[in-house]
Structures are given as structure tokens and as C-alpha cells.
């Protein structure tokens, strides 16, 4: 089975390859009457767009979105919203080597093993280019839950972490790394430049916070809010780990150290800590949702790597093309989009069952 | 919406509360003709059963499973398999305090926020007792993919890690901690005893490996093998993190260090490393699937914690009852079950689309 | 794939065979806080119960339902509701012939063709006994949409139709045929008695009306209200046709004759006709929902019929056992249950998307 | 909830409105390696295309399909296939009256009741124009089950039925009515012409047969082959009834008259009758699948009908525009498409579970 739909009640289906004529998303289940134009979506795509700094791939894609259905007189009608983005700058010739040898770390071998053959141009369907469609769908999701603010940033690149003491929300959009720590941003400039110049690559950890999520959203047991977030984030290209709240660090704490005590507050409970990341039993507690996502280093590197050809012969491959030296950076708007999509879905699921 | 079904083609639905008369699972989509009796399921339940050592809860449940449908003449018929486990040792009086105050870290407050009220006896539906039903379903899943071996163990308790050099598969079932390192098991005895006696609790990290998974299983993009595993594991009580392969460590590596080079091998490629944990582009590469799951410390502790009552007054709660000092330990068979369930599902999904 | 779950938001999963120890349903997605005890379910099961008159099968099943989960202090908790009915009067010996030859019209041959073998005792999973689980789930559904009244009756038996002029709602529960026309009920007594005595069988048409369904329920395009009702009813054993409103008769009308004009009314529009059966574009119009379901004659007949054995030899089979001479009669509570289940689902779907 | 996806394993999602820029379908779950170009799809769209005779709407749409994804080097890749058809001949001015008054029989009032407002141009999403997307998806489905032949025709128009004795498969594509009876086709010419000229409309019954379906396809209990076909056909605009095999006529038969006896045949059983329409217990028997679908007369008529305005005032409406005098005629390729889509889905479901 191929599963290109995500969500249960607020659902989206994406389609398209790296080097096809276009890619897109069909958003189904959106509530009616929401004001929506391309201008609500484009800024989020611009945030993810390649080629905006020397620290991302130099592929030049305007990523202009068109709404083809589901909106009338500027408002959603409750019917499917078809979003399309044309591919403009496909240099298919860059990928001729990829046809002849599997790039380790990429999906090349696995796709061939599954499907018997593959669209090797830029990774075809397995390309991170598909995430543009998610970001477009995520922009619609944000409008479904306007009370929620979803915000992500980069926390480490190549193992070099921000200093939490320097955290400044206003910084995040002031540098090409979505980095909330101005000092770290300077260090990362050198770090990523070095990787780029040497044809190497770096991993990253993205953190994300969603505020304004009311207590009660979440669909136990198998669509728990944290379970859905884990599924959503792990489906992003290059992601290898996901934590909610303290995550792996919690596994080293005692029960006392990990407790999130409560006190009576003005509007429901006031929590004295948030080790749990705003989720208990798979249901939102009303605290900020906090999660962290690990991106592996971009698999495309200039250093030749041992590999095999589709017919099984030994080969080496060095990936030239135009690549992100740190694919995690452009993961920031994608993580935000996936979190927004999960929350929109959970909002409708909750309203459906619990009124 | 309430979502108590997991899986797409090989699906199971669980039902039941900690203190109801019984709990169970309905397994749907199982291929016909597979030999199945209660004796194929019981050993896995025994592995998870409470009260088998002083390091787990002292609740005494035989957890005897009955097959109520879907099997005829000792073989699966292709129709739903209903599995039921009766609850025997429910001491509801233990939980009277829980009715009056929310236990921090538990789902108590969140369930009330969602549903307006809750079954407070032992956590009701949010109790880890539900995982017995998953383990029963997982035993059926194993029979669907007999070529696959799923094996989990505890890697750290309270931050104290095994020494990989001491790893001995044969040790795992020789101690009450599912610990592959005999020395670590001795240390953990003291560690968990101390936590138990003081009414404290400890977190744990579980590792899991699945061998024999053929290249090609996986359903991109939104039921990627890693995405499904993340969803499956994050849905387990007390889990706060999941990593595939190197996980968060990969985020600190360079592309060169993270590469998994290939060479021609006897049966398809021979991989020279497995940073990716056996999954690329959401599809199995034929290498062992490797993942790691973080369990927070049991939220039930003897130390009084500040909290509120359902009517919003300040309160404190100390959880007496009978609890696992380290809920991660008994998570081992549950992680195995969830991994087996995902793999059985992916096996059928793959066969359905790709023949 | 095996699909034993119905519904999208209010879902139920059934399990069990004719001659297994029990059968049941797990209802998932039920809103919390609804008063529910076995006494809310039992009367509907009693209506469907076999052996209540000489016009139905003489199998004696008390069909006593037990609620095993999902209810606390007499109210639904929002978690899965497990309903179980034990099988009591299984005379497996009656079915020994069925192992040796396929009964034409039954699922015997088709199940073998699909699964390679089958539980031949009483038809196993394909037995209409499974509908007891649907009726139990349907009783819960009714409580989810208390504003709706779902009422079915028999309109024809063996081609002999009621006279609409004689329609009397109060009659429906006064005779063993769910017949609203007292005169027809008398005729049917003779008709069904004759069929029963000669070992023959009769078909029937059931009509069903749901009032109180608000305009707006329905989920276009592929979960249209009429489409879901068609799927629900066609999934009932022995059903071969379904009509909404005028159904096939509408195909012979002109557009003028088929129009349902509207006038301003006290609460929204007043409709001057209801050819459409209360549904337009897959969405309820607020008029009564009207549908009609065709049941074929019971396939079990005493007359020997030509058939083959599982190994492909020629054979004849005469079905003795204990059968309903007109399976459509006991279809009445089943149709009602399926309609109630669809409406409960649509109610939650509508609330989820449209608030 | 809005549900614009159909199918379980071979799934399609449609989007688009009558008067938007385009409409389309995303086909997900298609097996890889199937030869596919636009030329495989276009002929089926041409069959459904409006304006090909004076007996259908005079809207002139070329209905040219583009494949935007999922195909590489002329073969399906196993990833989503995006199909797009641009709308060319939208005369929105024709529909200005529709904004001011609900057209009885259309979805106008119901959409407003559900969503609060609607795209009134040509019925928006509720327009039968959406069925072009189904026909495109259905063309792909046919390639997935090449062993199956799906063939539909018109059996009655305005109550005037073909003579089964005159049935000639070769005739079906020789007249504008998909009529297998040359004499009936002549009569219908006069009948439909009269309706067209007077601004009236006619209903129709479509019959469909699928041959080559192997015994065993079908997914009991709630995705029974007949249940899925009922859902698929009832989701088509203007459909009010569906029968499998003898359908409603079976309800008037005795068990003896309705039996489908079997004899040993060359390849499995030879059936002596096919009252069941090729399905028993929801599973294909290997006989031809036979079904019949009732289309109501087009609701758009020239005769003024009493109605109300969106603000609740009394009004009358006469629908001028460009309409099919008998919408059932162009339903033929749509019924075929839906049947093909169900069968492709069932083929993969069966292979997934039963190998």
C-alpha cells in the first residue's frame, strides 16, 4: 500500500516528484467559512523556499502556490482544497549518476527494492521537495486553529547547541538558521560554510512549541496527541528521532524530578513544571506542547562512498548536484506545518466526539 | 474521536479498563490458515505479567488469554480474532484518593478535561494494564511474519547504561530486567530496590531490534516504516521519545560519518554500517531494524506532590497502591509487540500493492 | 483484507461466529457522559431474537448482552464499549452435511475460494447470527442521536405487499412480521406457514424511516448519507437491493413528477413532497429519511439442490437445520440498527467539521 | 467531516468544482510498473464528455486529462498519480438565478444547511462534473485488473425498457444512449428529444456487468463486494437505487426459484443460474458480477417549481442553463468507472490478506 494521506478528520493528500511538472496537496475536511487566499499560504512556503541563502540548496524555485478548488468568494466551502506548486528549476541532467548507482543514505536502493524501479531524478517522490506541499497544507491548518501558535527553531547544528540563556524569539527570523541565539547563529555560519565548501553535511535538532492548545485535545489510545506528532515528524525526510517534553532525558530522572505539580490557577490548573511537554495520557494538558526532532546530516556528500549499481555491481558515488549542507535548517517550517496539521486534526476530532 | 484501533491492513482494536471485568483485543485482517492456539499467545503475556518479581507491581494477575473467535480447527480463518483477558486482582479501594485529586504525570486531569469525568479506578482506560491486550495481539502478529525476529531489552535504568561490550542476548531472559549485561543487571537490582523501598521511581530506555525484515517493506510517505514505528511506540504509556538507528546522535554527525556504504553481497547488498537503523526513505533496506524508546519514571510516587482536586481546590497526593518502580521494565514485551504489529501490517501492505 | 469495522467517527467492530463461544461488538468513538446500561440494549436484541414465534428459526438463544468496558457509574466514558453475547444453543451436529457440500446461495463456496477453508458450523462468520452484534451496537447509536427516531417494518413478503392505506404504526409490534397492515399480517401468517412446512422460503422488502434528522448531516462525496446507508444495508446478510426515497420508481418519472418543491415553513422550508427520501446531494434535507431494502429468500431450503463438494465432486444438498423461512422478517431490527449507526456517525462527522 | 477519498488500498481523492479552474483526482496505492499514459485515460473521458450529441448538455468541455505525477518512463512508480482536467467552458452567468433560490432536487438547500453557504455556480462541488475525475481514476483502475471487463449500458429511459431478446453488445457504442437494443434506441431518440424540447427530463436505469472477476475477491463483513459496489454507485449524482443480481425481484421469489445450483465444471464450479449477481456472502463467486443502478430524472427543468430563497422567502425557479435531459445516459461511463475502482481495490485487498 502507498499512503500519501495524513490525518483523520482534517486530512491532506500530497502528490508530486522532485522533477515532475508540479506537486501539490489536497486538503479535505476543512471547516467551511474560513477566509483563505494564496496570500495566507505563500509566506510559509517562502520560509521553506530553497535558494534564499548560501546555506541552502541553490535550486531556484519560486514555489508559487495556486488554490484550484474549495474556496469561493474568499472563504473555504468545506469541500476539498487543491493546492498546486509548479516545479520550475529542475535540472534533470544533474542526476544522471543517480540512475547508475544507489546513493547511500538515500531512498534509492529501498525504492528499487520495493517498486522494482524508481524515478531517479532528484530522488523522485522521496525528495524533500515534497515537503513544500506539506507546508502549503500546514498553512491552511493554522487557520483552522487560530488560537494556537506553532513555532519551531534550530537548537543544534552538527552538535553545536544554542545557549538556552540566549534564547530570543525575535532572533529566529533574523538569521538564515532559524536560530534563537544570535551568538550560535554566528558560529553556525562558519560551521555550515565549512561543510558546504568541503561538500560535507551536518545534522540538526529542531525544537517546536505550540501554545494555546486547550486541555482535552488528543485521541487515545492510538491517535494520542504525542503519538500523532511522532508519526507526523518521523515522516519528514531525514528525521531519525522525536522527543516529547524532556524525552530521553526523562528516562534518567526520578519520579520526583520528573513530576509536573499543579496548583489552582486563574483558568484551570497552574502547572509548576512541564517535563511532560504538555501531554499526559496522549491528551493535551493546556500547557505548551513541546517537542524536539533530530535530523540526520544530508546524505548527499561530495566524498565518494562505496555503493552498488541497480544491477548489483560495485560502484562509488559522490553526489554533486545542488544540496542543502544541513537539511535540518529548512526542516523548521516543515516541522511547524506537521505540528499545525496534527493540531487542526485533533481539534476537529475532539469537537466531533466531545462537542 | 476515540481511536482504539491500530494498523491499516493487519489491524487490532483494544478495549477494557484497569478495573473492569476484562480487557481484550480484536485482531482483524489476519491471513487465513495460520496455526494459532492460546499457547502461542500466553508466553508473551507471561513475560509482561505483573507480580513476577519484587521489581514490578505486586498486582497478581494471571493474564490468561481466551480466543473467542476467528480460529477453527486450530487455524485462523481470516475473520476477526477476539482475544479476552479477565481482570482478577482489582483492588478498587486502593484508588479512592485518586477520585479526589489528580495525580500529576498521570492522565487524570487530561481525561477529565477531555471527557468531563473519568473512571478513576487504577487510571481506567489510561492504565498500562491495557498493554496486555497489545501483547496478545502482538503474539498473533509474530505468526504472520515468522521470518522476522523481534527482540527488545533494557538499555538504561535511571540513566545507568549497559556496557555494549557486555551485550549477551542469552542474558536478556535470565534476569528480571530484560538486561543483556549481567553486570548492569546486578547494579539495577540495587537501584530499583532502592527506588521501590523509598517509594520513588526510575525511567528507562528500551532498545529493540527486528531482524529478517526484507528490503521493500514500508509505505511512503505517511505510513513510512519509521513513522509507523514512532506512532506505535509513542502510543505506549510513559513513552516520551523514539529514535530510529542512531537517532539524536545522528544529528551531531557529519554526512561522511553517518553514511551506510554498500558493497555487492551474496544476497543483495552488504551494508558496511547501519546508522539508519535499517530504514531509508521510510522503507526497509534489509538490514536489522533498530530503534530505541524512552520511558519516563513511573508517575506514581510516595512523595506527596502538589496538585488540585477535580473541583479546583489545592491538594497533595502521594500514590500508595501497587506500582512498578520502573514502568520501562515491563515495557519490553510491549515494545516488542508493537514492533511486531507494525511489521505484520507492513508485510500485508507491501504484498497488497507490490504482489 | 478483512474489514469488520464500520463507521468513521462512531465506529463499531464485530467479531464472532455462529457456533463459537460468543460474539460481540466493540463500539469506539461514542461521546462521553451518555447514560448506558444493559437494559438500554437488551430490548433491541429481544426484538431480533430467534425462536420467538414459529415464523423464525427455532434456535433458542437468550442473546443476553454484557457491557465489558467503556461505562463507569452508568455513563459512557468516551472509551471503547465492549459488548458480548454468549452463544448458548449451538447444535453443531446439524451442520455436518455442510462440511461436505457447498450450500448454493450461501457463502460456503465463496469463503473456501477466498480463505482456502472455512468454519462450516452454521456458516461460521457468514451467519446472520453476527447481526446480533450490530443490533447491540445500534442500541448504543440510538442514544447518541436521541432526537432521531428510526423505525422499520416489512412491506412485502414473497411479493405480497401491504396496502399503504392500511398503514398503522401501532400494528408493527403487534404481530410476528413487523407488519403495519393487520390484514397483510393475517395473509402472511398463512404464506410463511406454508413455506415453513414445505421447507421452502420467501423473500421480503423492508422499509425504514428515520425522522428527526436535521438538515446538514451527510459527508459528501464518498460518505454521502445515502451512500453510507447503501453500504450499511447491503452489508446485511441476504440483502440484494437498496432504494432511497422513490428509488427505482424515480427512474420512470419525469423531472416534474419527481420534484420536491419547497415553501417557507415555520422552521426552515416546508417540503411539498419527498421523492428524494430526505437526502439531496448526499446531505439530509430535514425531511424524513426513507429507504427500502430487498432481502432474498433464505437460501436454506429442504428441496435438494445440485451442488459440488469442496473437492469438486457433484453432490446435492437439502438444508435441514433450523432456519428462518423468511430471513427478511428478522432483518427489521438489523436494518434499524444499521440506519441508527450511520446516523450517529454522521452526527459526529458533521459536528466535527461544521461545529 | 468531508470525505472525498474512496477505496481502502487502491484509493482516489477527487477535488474541484463545476466552475473552478480545474478538477482532478489523486490515485494512491496503484501497483508499480503498469504502463500508463494519458492515452489510456482519454477515451473513457471522451465517452463521458458532454456535448457529443443533442441528447446531452451542450456545455463544450474537451476534458483533456494531464498526468502530473506518479508515472516515470511510461510506467506507474507506485506513488500517487495526480490527474488534472481543466475547466474550459464555464458560463457562470447562467447560474445567477441559482444564487437567489434553491433548485428543488438539487443539493443547493442541503449544502447551505450544512456549510452555511455554497459555491452556487453550476452546483459547485455537487455538480455531476466531478464525475469526470472518477472516470479518469477508473481508467487507471481498469489497468490494475486487466483480466476484468466492466461494461455498462442503459436499460430503461423514462420507464421504457430494452427488450432483452434484442440485447446486442456491439450496439452499445453505436448510439448516443449506450443502448444495446437498436429498436429501443430509436424510441429513446424521440423520447429524449421530446423531453429536451419541452425542458422536461427523464430518469434511467443503468445495468453493469463485470466479467473475469475471480472467486474470492471481497472483504467481509463491512467491505463486502456488494456493499462496496452499493456505496460506490449510490455516491454518483442522481442515483437513488442499486440492485445486485436479481435485486428487488429476488424478494418476490421462493428459495427454490432463487437458487444458483452448481455443477463440477472445467475450472471450478459451473453455475446453473446467477440470481445472486456473482456475489455470495460479500465475496465473488467467479460468475459475472451483475448490478443495476437507478438514476432519477435530471432535477433541472424548465417548468417553474415552488421553492424558497436562502433568506427563506417564497420563490419559484425554472432552470434554464445547459443540462442533460436524462442524466442517466452519461452515467454509464461513471458507473463503469466506479465498478472498476471497487474491483481494483478488492483485488489488492485480497492479495494483501490472502497472498
**SS3 of C55-86:** CCCCCCCCCCEEECCCEECCEECCCCEEEEEE
pLDDT band at B104 (very low <50, low <70, confident <90, very high): very high
Mean predicted confidence (pLDDT) in B315-323:
83
Of C159, C222, C307, the CB nearest to D5: C222
CA pair distance A58, A44, nearest whole angstrom: 19
Q: Residue D1 is nearest to which of C104, C229, C352, comparing CB atoms?
A: C352
* Mean pLDDT across A252-274: 95
Whether the pLDDT of residue A298 is over 60: the answer is yes
CA distance A2 to B117: 39
Q: What local confidence, expressed as pLDDT, does residue C54 receive?
A: 83
Q: Which residues in D303-318 are b (16+ Cβ under 10 Å) and which e?
A: bebebbebeeeebebe
How much is the average pLDDT of A69-84?
A: 98
Residue D125 assigned ligand-binding role = yes
Taking residues D240-265, report their average pLDDT: 97
**Predicted pLDDT at A321:** 67
> Cell triple for residue A341?
496539521
Inter-chain residue contact D2 with A117, CB threshold 8 Å: no
State whether C240 and D235 contact (CB < 8 Å): no
pLDDT (tens digit per residue) in A234-258: 999 999 999 999 999 999 999 999 9
pLDDT computed for residue D268 by the predictor: 84
pLDDT at C294 (0 to 100): 98
Render pLDDT for D82-109 as a digit per residue (tens, 0 to 9). Answer: 999 999 877 656 677 788 999 999 999 9
Q: If you average pLDDT over residues B211-230, what whole number do you get?
A: 98
- Residue B30 or D52, more confident: B30
The pLDDT assigned to D92 comes to 57
Partner residue facing D3 (CB), from C219, C263, C294: C219
Rounded to the nearest angstrom, the gap between the alpha carbon of residue C210 and the centroid of all alpha carbons in its chain is: 14
Interval B33-56: pLDDT, tens: 999 999 999 999 999 987 778 888
- Number of cross-chain residue pairs from B and C with Cβ atoms under 8 Å apart: 155
pLDDT of C180: 98
Summarize the confidence of residues D34-47 as an average pLDDT. Answer: 97
What are the 10-residue block averages of pLDDT along chain C, 355 residues in total?
A: 95 96 98 98 92 80 95 98 91 73 95 95 93 98 98 98 98 96 97 94 98 98 98 98 98 96 92 98 98 96 94 91 87 98 98 96
Of A227, A278, A6, A255, which is closest to residue B293 (Cα–Cα)? A227
Q: Which of D5, D82, D119 sits opposite A77 (nearest CB)?
A: D119
Q: What is the pLDDT of residue B52?
A: 79
Give me the phi and psi of A148, to 5 degrees please: -100, 140
**Smallest Cα distance from A73 to chain B, Å:** 31
Q: Write down the mean pLDDT value for chain B.
A: 95
Chain segment A207-222, per-residue pLDDT in tens: 999 999 999 999 999 9
Chain B interface mutation, best of D82, D144, D352, highest count of B Cβ atoms under 10 Å? D352
* Contacting subunits of B (3+ beta carbon pairs below 8 A): A, C, D
Query: Where do the domains of chain D lie?
Result: 5-354
DSSP H helix total and E strand total for chain C: 8, 18
Lowest mean pLDDT among A125-139, A308-322, B160-174: A308-322
Number of neighbours of residue D191 by Cβ within 10 angstroms: 20
CA distance C104 to chain D (A): 6
Torsion angles phi and psi, residue C35, rounded to 5: -65, 125
For the segment D123-131, the average pLDDT, to the nearest whole number, is 95
Nearest CA in chain A to C77: A354
Peptide bond into B221 cis (omega under 30): yes
D62 has binding-site annotation: no
B349/D351 Cβ within 8 A: no
pLDDT > 90? residue B321: no
- H or E segment and range at residue B305: strand B305-308
Kindly identify which residue of chain B lies nearest to residue C73, measuring between CA atoms.
B119
Q: What CATH number does domain C5-354 carry, 2.40.50.140, 3.40.640.10, 3.40.50.300, 3.60.150.10? A: 3.60.150.10
Mean pLDDT across chain A, nearest whole number?
A: 95
Whether residues C78 and A351 touch (CB distance < 8 A) is answered with no
Considering chain A, what percentage of its residues have pLDDT values greater than 70?
99
pTM value is: 0.97
What pLDDT is attached to residue C93?
A: 64
Q: CA-to-CA distance for A44 and A141, rounded, in angstroms?
A: 12
| pLDDT(D19) > 80 | yes
Cell of A10: 482534517
Chains that touch C (3 or more CB pairs under 8 A): A, B, D
Judging contacts by C-beta atoms under 8 Å, the chain C residues touching residue D352 are: 1
Amino acid at each position: 500500500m502507498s499512503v500519501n494521506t495524513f490525518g483523520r478528520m482534517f486530512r491532506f493528500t500530497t502528490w508530486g516528484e522532485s522533477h515532475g511538472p508540479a506537486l501539490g496537496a489536497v486538503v479535505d475536511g476543512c471547516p467551511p467559512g474560513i477566509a483563505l487566499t494564496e496570500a495566507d499560504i505563500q509566506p510559509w512556503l517562502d520560509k521553506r523556499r530553497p535558494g534564499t541563502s548560501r546555506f541552502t540548496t541553490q535550486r531556484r524555485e519560486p514555489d508559487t502556490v495556486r488554490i484550484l478548488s474549495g474556496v469561493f468568494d474568499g472563504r473555504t466551502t468545506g469541500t476539498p482544497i487543491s493546492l498546486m506548486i509548479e516545479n520550475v528549476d529542475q535540472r534533470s541532467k544533474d542526476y544522471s549518476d543517480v540512475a547508475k548507482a544507489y546513493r547511500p543514505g538515500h531512498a534509492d536502493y529501498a525504492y528499487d527494492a520495493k517498486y522494482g524501479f524508481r524515478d531517479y531524478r532528484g530522488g523522485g517522490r522521496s525528495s524533500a521537495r515534497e515537503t513544500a506541499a506539506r507546508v502549503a497544507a500546514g498553512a491552511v491548518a493554522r487557520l483552522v486553529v487560530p488560537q494556537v501558535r506553532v513555532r519551531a527553531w534550530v537548537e543544534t547544528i552538527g552538535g553545536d547547541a544554542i545557549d538556552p540563556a540566549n534564547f530570543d524569539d525575535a532572533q529566529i527570523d533574523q538569521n538564515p538558521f532559524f536560530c534563537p541565539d544570535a551568538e550560535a547563529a554566528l558560529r553556525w555560519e562558519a560551521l555550515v560554510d565549512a561543510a558546504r565548501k568541503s561538500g560535507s553535511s551536518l545534522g540538526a535538532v529542531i525544537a517546536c512549541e505550540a501554545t494555546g492548545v486547550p486541555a482535552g485535545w488528543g485521541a487515545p489510545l492510538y491517535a494520542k496527541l504525542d503519538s500523532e506528532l511522532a508519526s507526523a515528524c518521523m515522516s519528514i525526510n531525514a528525521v531519525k528521532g522525536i522527543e516529547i517534553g524532556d524525552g530521553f532525558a526523562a528516562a534518567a530522572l526520578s519520579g520526583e524530578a520528573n513530576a509536573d505539580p499543579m496548583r489552582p490557577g486563574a483558568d484551570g490548573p497552574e502547572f509548576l513544571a512541564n517535563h511532560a511537554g504538555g501531554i499526559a495520557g496522549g491528551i493535551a494538558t493546556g500547557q505548551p506542547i513541546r517537542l524536539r526532532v533530530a535530523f540526520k546530516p544530508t546524505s548527499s556528500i561530495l566524498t565518494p562512498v562505496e555503493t552498488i549499481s541497480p544491477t548489483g555491481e560495485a560502484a562509488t558515488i559522490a553526489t554533486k548536484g545542488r544540496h542543502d549542507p544541513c537539511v535540518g535548517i529548512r526542516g523548521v517550517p516543515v516541522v511547524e506545518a506537521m505540528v499545525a496539521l496534527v493540531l487542526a486534526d485533533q481539534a476537529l476530532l475532539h469537537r466531533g466526539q466531545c462537542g
